[in-house]
Amino acid sequence: MERLQKVIAQAGIASRRKAEELITEGKVKVNGIVVTELGTKVSDKDRIEVNNEIIEKEKKEYYLLNKPRGVVTTTQDDKNRKTVVDLIPTSARIYPVGRLDYDTTGVLLLTNDGDFANILMHPTSNVDKVYMAKLEGIIKGEQINQLKDGVELDGEIVKPSRVKLKKVDPKSNSCMVQITIHEGKNHQVKRMFEAVGFPVAKLKREKEAFFDLKDLQSGEFRKLTPKEVAKVYGLKQK
């Protein structure tokens, strides 16, 4: 069940605010009955009319993208840079679930299903986001323990759920570290490593929840299966 004004907006008839005006003005019918109450909820089975025209509800779509570098995680960009939405040919008004920085690559989900997106982004879902970071310099156990104890970002202490040193390259004075977080603060992983003295040279999200990059090259995408969508909705019940 979804709010009537949200369904009208998702169908592309009007903005959410304009949809609310149409409802209060008595221009919307549900199953042939005029509805003027903004809190009204409707299901997929309800017939909705706006100005006596039946609206076509937008079909829900779900995608997994291996985001490449140099693409912005938004639906449109005022600098005319390529966006993640440009990489997926669909007429549905999809949008990214969360965000990855311009130079960060890896797992990114896109959809036009707000409930699906909210489940993945809500803190109570405790969704694992697994990143591989190439650091400038070679991190030591002391700094890893600092991360585990928590660093301050935006006035609060944030901790990774896991941190593991994966590879050391003395020649280039760099290392690869896998880090798992649950939050989604702006530039969070980069800022966490910088807080302990290690700038991030490259960053890739390898996994989000149970989604990974298997068989997807940079810039490639695939549709989610109904089973995967149902599994995400199952996270809400835990």
d(CA 28, CA 7): 12
The span from the first CA to the last CA of the chain, in angstroms, equals 20
160-to-39, 128, 171, 183 alpha-carbon distances in Å: 39, 10, 28, 9
- Residues in contact with 188: Cβ distance below 8 Å, sequence separation at least 6, in sequence order: 153, 158, 181
Question: Is 101 marked active-site?
Answer: yes
> Could you tell me which of 103, 132, 73, 108 has the C-alpha nearest to residue 221?
108
Secondary structure (DSSP) of 104-150: -EEEEEEES-HHHHHHHHSGGG---EEEEEEEES---HHHHHHHHH-
- What span, in angstroms and rounded, lies between the C-alpha atoms of 4 and 10? 10
Within 10 angstroms of residue 50's Cβ, the number of other Cβ atoms is 17
Q: Which of 101, 115, 154, 212 is catalytic?
A: 101
Q: Compute the radius of gyration of the chain from its Cα atoms.
A: 21
d(CA 197, CA 139): 9
Supply the residues annotated as catalytic.
Answer: 101
